Chain A
């Protein structure tokens, strides 16, 4: 399975942009890049996903490197509610090989 590497923790100030990096050097051409986040005592929730092009939604933006070996989740204006663990994962469809494994993620702290 293709693996991802993220920093263990990052810190930001409220209302400032946050750039969360993810390395996935063994990504294959059909792997999608997904980001999820987990608030305290809750299940993970979807943030954004993409394949090759940069993506934007109401929560965040996803910037994907041209070689697709890394990506960055961008929170344009961090709020206290964005404090969570952020997971970057790769997904590849097809038969039984769809394990969807998560790493430890990045713990984002947002300072008021």
Chain B
């Protein structure tokens, strides 16, 4: 299994506060992704990165920002958390070739109260 870890794994925060989720991979993969998963919606892409400092929006990017200053780290920031952002967040990485597999982290459970 690829070494991909997420932190924190669980977090409860208040509405209006900033939150940062961290994804760390040890495989030197070029591509990294952030997804959110909610009941009835499957996995939805928030943002992804195709290299250091190279990022782009996914399907549900409003209210989220990302940064990637090093190959191994991809940060997801909620500038001002809202209750609608209560979700499970999954990070993933991939070498960048279509025949290669995607490796997922174990998920971060975020509750905004």
Residues of chain B at interface, number, CB under 8 A: 29
Q: Is the CB of B96 within 8 A of A44?
A: no
Q: Is the CB of A49 within 8 A of B99?
A: yes
Q: Is the CB of A43 within 8 A of B101?
A: no
Nearest-CB residue, chain B, relative to A45: B104
Question: B74 at the A/B interface (Cβ < 8 Å)?
Answer: no
Residues of chain A at interface, number, CB under 8 A: 28
Question: B16 at the A/B interface (Cβ < 8 Å)?
Answer: no
CB-defined contacts of A46 to chain B, threshold 8 Å: 101-103
CB-defined contacts of A96 to chain B, threshold 8 Å: 50, 54, 56
Q: Is the CB of B58 within 8 A of A101?
A: yes
CB distance from A32 to the nearest CB of B (A): 4
CB-defined contacts of B62 to chain A, threshold 8 Å: none
CB-defined contacts of B96 to chain A, threshold 8 Å: 93, 98
Q: Is the CB of A44 within 8 A of B43?
A: yes
Q: Can you name 26 A-B residue pairings with CB atoms under 8 Å? A: A30-B98, A31-B98, A32-B99, A34-B102, A36-B102, A42-B106, A42-B107, A43-B105, A43-B106, A44-B92, A44-B102, A49-B99, A87-B42, A91-B99, A91-B102, A93-B97, A93-B99, A96-B50, A96-B54, A100-B31, A100-B33, A100-B45, A100-B94, A101-B58, A101-B59, A104-B40
Q: Is the CB of B42 within 8 A of A105?
A: yes
CB-defined contacts of B54 to chain A, threshold 8 Å: 96
Q: A45-B104, A102-B35 are in contact. Are A32 and B42 (CB under 8 A)?
A: no
Give A40-69 as 1s and 0s: 1 = Cβ < 8 Å from B's Cβ atoms: 011111100101000000000000000000
Sort A-B residue pairs by CB-CB distance and give the 8 closest, nearest first: A43-B104, A104-B42, A102-B43, A93-B98, A46-B101, A91-B98, A32-B98, A96-B50
